[in-house]
Structure 1
Amino acid sequence: MARWGWLAVLCGVPWLAAPALAQAPGGCPAGYVEMTVQGVVPTEQGMAVVLKPDKEEVLLPIWIGEAEAFSIRLRLERRRFERPLTHDLLDTVVRELGGKLIKIHVDDLKGNTFVGMVFIQQGKKTISIDSRPSDAIALAVGNRLPICVSQKVFERAGIRKEAPEPESPQKSPKDTPENLLKDIIDPAEEKTL
């Protein structure tokens, strides 16, 4: 199977020829690409949340912690844990203080550490709060908010599918999702967000 074939299958991404980057729609400012969560994938290095823009065949994996992965999975499935998790608590705090989450950004990639921001509307003012992208993405998924990734992060860390390779009837142990994602980031450089 192609290098990113298993990742694509896990995330339900049909690979096509990659078109030129489209202008970000609606909720994202110029210079940002709106993306959606395609899934949360276990790897030998930990969990990764995989983002994808609507009109591109590019995947953006971001390594995250176990707690954030669990929260994102529950939120993707529209399920709740029996007691509030951290992101449920944050949602409640924002709402009870008269705020409304409006969008999140993944603004930068410093070394191998992604930098994010959460935007909250409170009355007539918009508040921006520094955030780990993993927490911001969990909030975005739970509140159905735009996930805006800066063009520079998208270009630097996005993985574009090249020419499709023919399917092989036999799967190699190298084609497991863990091994495929391991090739993206050198484990020595990896950081959990």
Structure 2
Amino acid sequence: MDFELIPVQFNKILQSQNYTVFILGTEEKQFAIYTSPHVGQNLQIHLAGQMKPRPYTYDLINALFSGLNINLLQVVITDVQDTLYFARLFVEQETDGVRNILEIDARPSDCLTLALENEIPIYCTKEVFEKTVSIEE
């Protein structure tokens, strides 16, 4: 990937019965990514430090990555078409002294959840950042 990347931060995560909204951006511009309500419910449990009754999909992914000695590096929001966003999760694994970096196509909600749970950086391509609709707070 050879794009100019802009670091973005979580500003807020809003939850309703019908959707979850990630508010991301920089000091100059904020934008929203909408996803399903179960994503927000999972994040509420994580942020509150509560025990989950059963492991969730993100717990499975984190356990697999840990067991395979895979480190999460970063999330990059790579495209937006209308209101549909696209993202990539970058991970690394060292095997026999060789460092392999994988770029995984994934839903932004999954990438953002993993980024929040694992405290990894989130980036947005400059092109996507310029196309996003700014929200006022």
TM-score range, shorter chain: 0.7 to 0.9
2:25, 2:47 → 1: CA distance?
A: 15
2:121 is matched with 146
Is it true that 1:117 corresponds to 2:88 in the alignment? Answer: yes
The correspondence for 1:68, drawn from 39, 58, 68, is 39
Runs of 4+ residues deviating >6 angstroms: none
Which sections of structure 1, spanning at least 5 residues, go unmatched? 1-28, 162-179, 181-193
Structure showing greater Rg? 1
- Report the TM-score when normalising by structure 2: 0.83
Stretches of structure 2 that go unaligned for 5 or more consecutive residues are none
Once the two structures are TM-superposed, the CA of residue 76 in structure 1 deviates from its matched residue by 3.7
1:54-102 per-position Cα deviation (integer Å, ceiling 9, x unaligned): xx23211000111212223333444442322111111111111121111
Question: Following TM superposition, by how much is the alpha carbon of 1:111 offset from its aligned partner in structure 2, in angstroms?
Answer: 3.0
In 1, Cα distance between equivalents of 2:17 and 2:54:
29
| C-alpha distance in 1 between matches for 2:55 and 2:24 | 25
CA contact (8 A) 1:75 1:141 kept: no
**2:19 — aligned with what?**
46
CA contact 1:40–1:73 (8 Å) conserved in 2: no
Q: Which amino acid aligns with 1:34?
A: P
1:98 aligns with 2:91: no
Give the alignment partner of residue 131 of structure 1, picking from 106, 111, 114: 106
Pairs aligned (count):
132
Specify the SS of the correspondent of 2:55.
coil
Letter in 2 for 1:127: L
Deviation at 1:151, TM superposition (A): 1.2
CA RMSD of aligned residues (A): 2.3
